[in-house]
Amino acid sequence: MTKSAYQPANASPVVRTRSAFTIRHWSVRHARFLEHIYNLLAKLFLKLHPLWTFIGYARAEKPVMVVEKMAKSFLFGCRMCGQCALSETGMSCPMNCPKTLRNGPCGGVRPNGHCEVEPDMPCVWVEAWRGSQQMANKEAILTVQPPVDHSLRGSSSWLRATAAAAAEEIAKVRMKETSQ
C-alpha cells in the first residue's frame, strides 16, 4: 500500500470518540431544557394522534423514525432500542453503556467517573445522575427500567409513547363516563 501525503485532520479514533462524548455531555448538562422540549414534543404528538390513527401508526413509523433517529443519534448517541428512557435517565441514554445496563452503574466505575470498559468514556450512569438532578422530575431516575425487548429495536419510541398516552386518555374518559 502506498503512503499518501494526505492526513485527515482530527481523524484519530480518540478525537472522534471525544467529540461524540462532548455532544452527549452537552445534552446531559442541558437536561432541563431538553426535558422541556421533550414534553412539548410529547404534547404535539398526542395532539396529532388522530392524524397518526388516520394515516395508520404503521405507515407513520418510517418517516417519524427517520427524524427521531437523526435527532436522538446526534444528541444522545441513540441506538434506536425502541424503548426510550431518556426522560428517566437525565437525558443520558443507558444503551450507550458498553454493558447496556438500564438500571444503574456496574461496580466498575473508575474514580474519575469514567467507564471500566471504555476508559475514555464518562460512565453513562454518572452522567445520568448529573442530568437527572437538573430535571423537574428528579426522582424519575429511580424508576426501574424493564429489560430491553429486542423485538422493538429500530422502531419509534415516540409513536409508541404517543399511542400509549392516547390509550390512557381514552381509558380515563371512558372511566369518567361510566362513573356518571
Query: How far apart are alpha carbons 114 and 123 in whole angstroms?
Result: 5
Query: How far apart are alpha carbons 41 and 35 in whole angstroms?
Result: 10
Per-residue pLDDT, 2: 59
Each residue's pLDDT tens digit, 15-42: 445 667 888 899 999 999 999 999 999 9
Per-residue pLDDT, 21: 80
Chain-wide mean pLDDT for the chain? 89
Phi, psi of 122, deg, nearest 5 = -65, 145
Residues in the chain: 180
Report the predicted TM-score, pTM, of the whole model to 2 decimal places: 0.81
Angle at 80 between CA 162 and CA 161, to 5 degrees: 10
What's the chain's Rg over C-alpha atoms? 19
